[in-house]
Amino acid sequence: MTFSSPLLSRPGAVAAAGADAGVAAHYGDPVREQRALAEGRAAVDLSFRGVVTVTGPDRLTWLTTLSSQQVSGLGPGESAELLLLSIQGRIEYDARIVDDGATAWLLVEAAEAGGLAAWLNSMRFMLRVEVADVSDAWGVLGAVRELGELAALESAAPVWRDPWPHVAPGGFSYAAVAEDRHPGLDRPWVEHLVAADRLGDAAAALDAAGVGLAGSMAAEALRIAAWRPRVGFETDDKVIPHELDLLRTAVHLAKGCYKGQETVARVHNLGHPPRRLVMLQLDGSTHTLPAPGSPVFVATDDGGEKQVGRVTSAALHYEMGPIALAVVKRSTPADAALTVRGEAEGEVYAAAQETIVAPEAGQVVHRPTGLLRGSH
């Protein structure tokens, strides 16, 4: 059954497609909505999110043993991010987690929820845990601040607070900028769980307080500007956490054994991630955006060009204009001008890159201190 948010019936709503299907891409004025969202005057319907709950007294220690993150000490209302990896260290699931003292709530992409719940159920063994996919019962509203206007909703659930871009305990920054200069600081992010049958009431409460609705296009633009990776966009079947700077929020480097840990430790201590995430400032003269998957090229010495990566996300930012995230080969010079080729004939974008993951990231054993940063 295809999900459709009740907020799609709001005036001006234009349905989103792809991974965001079921909510509004915008409500008639994407740029104005984006500015309002960035300034805390709007909320965005993210009810395409999948929601998986884990209950039982062993839930947090169990999730710690399975994942890249240390969540066994997570207190009521505290949030974190965790990864479930393959044996090769590749990202299989990326989950936002908040615990309310009795239930661990995992917020994931819509396409992940069923598979995640099934996999977790297969790993229960004799532990005191219960897993459920409750995606149909819950909606999600995102914003750059906590929406106190929703406090009167009796069925409101915990609020997930995005740890990005702060380096979590046990984490490590691969970014080329210091934490206090990271653009993600301009986008503090929270996601409110709201019972699906109360989304209309939630929107009415926000309206009464002068808080409007923004579409998913607005949230995407702010995410890209904050360098925040998203599963299904920045990820593929080969990606490892290091390439996306996810060691800063989703990996605890000192925790016990988990699937994929060997790769995480080996690349971090002895090697380099083969690819790295960059942000692209795109030439806006074409008045279009490259589609995800569009190839990225660098000029060669013989006057030609070679492909070094692909665009993963693109958006029109209300201040910066057209921007994108891309994953490129680590060997791509950090100061090189890049070119993106779109799907249509002659659709070419000049692109200035902004380094996110530093080319020298990794290989921290015997590295002089101060180059890349662990948690405090």
pLDDT tens digit sequence for 141-184: 999 999 999 988 866 689 999 999 999 999 999 999 999 999 99
Distance CA 122, CA 116 (A): 10
Q: Which of 225, 260, 285 is the last residue of a domain?
A: 225
Q: Residue 68: which domain range?
A: 7-225
Residues 59 and 128 in one domain: yes
Residues 63 and 206 in one domain: yes
CB 86 within 8 A of CB 107: no
Residues 40 and 172 in one domain: yes
pLDDT tens digit sequence for 66-108: 999 999 999 999 999 999 999 999 999 999 999 999 999 999 9
265 assigned to some structural domain: no
**CATH, residue 318:** 2.40.30.110
pLDDT at 213: 98
DSSP state letters, 298-323: EE-TTS-EEEEEEEEEEEEETTTEEE
**CATH, residue 197:** 3.30.1360.120
pLDDT band, very low/low/confident/very high, at 211 (cuts 50, 70, 90) = very high
174 assigned to some structural domain: yes
Residues 218 and 278 in one domain: no
State the DSSP code for 175. B
**Count of the separate structural domains present in the chain:** 2
185 assigned to some structural domain: yes
State the DSSP code for 8. G
Residues 188 and 306 in one domain: no
pLDDT tens digit sequence for 34-53: 999 999 999 999 999 999 99
